[in-house]
Structure 1
Amino acid sequence: MSCEHLICAQCSHPVVEGRCPTCRAARSELHRHGPAIPPALVLAALVALLFVALVLQRVY
């Protein structure tokens, strides 16, 4: 579902414009996605994998 065609009952404007607090709340609720992985966590995982690869390369 998208908010492109929804009309706010509070201000009578399209929800996508976010003119009032009710519009903004509805828009953020519709556009909420699942938990995202923080970029710092991805970077830390890549550094850890690089470290493991370097250690394994020295062992063999």
Structure 2
Amino acid sequence: MCCEHLICANCAGPVSEGRCSVCRSHKEQMHRSGAMSFSTMAAILLTMLVAVAFLTATLH
């Protein structure tokens, strides 16, 4: 999710413009945590491996 479509509840402006301190802090937080966390990536990889193993086992 990007901050281009978010509206600030404090100043009613777009968060991407950073009009107030609330906008700026939320924008910074979103950009800082924009990458997927290691645990999320590991869970996705594990799910994919289980799916491949299941499909391989059912096809043979």
TM-score category of the 2 structures, normalised to the smaller one: 0.5 to 0.7
Q: Identify unmatched segments of 5+ residues in structure 2.
A: 36-60
Shift >6 Å, 4+ stretches:
none
Report the structure, 1 or 2, having the larger helix content: 2
What is the percentage of aligned positions where both structures have the same residue? 56
Q: Identify unmatched segments of 5+ residues in structure 1.
A: 35-60
Computed over aligned residues only, the root mean square deviation of the Cα atoms, in angstroms, reads: 1.3
Give the aligned partner of residue 19 of structure 1. Answer: 19
The structural deviation recorded for 1:26 is 0.4
Aligned residue pairs, count: 34
TM-score of the aligned structures, taking structure 1 as reference length: 0.53
TM-score of the aligned structures, taking structure 2 as reference length: 0.53
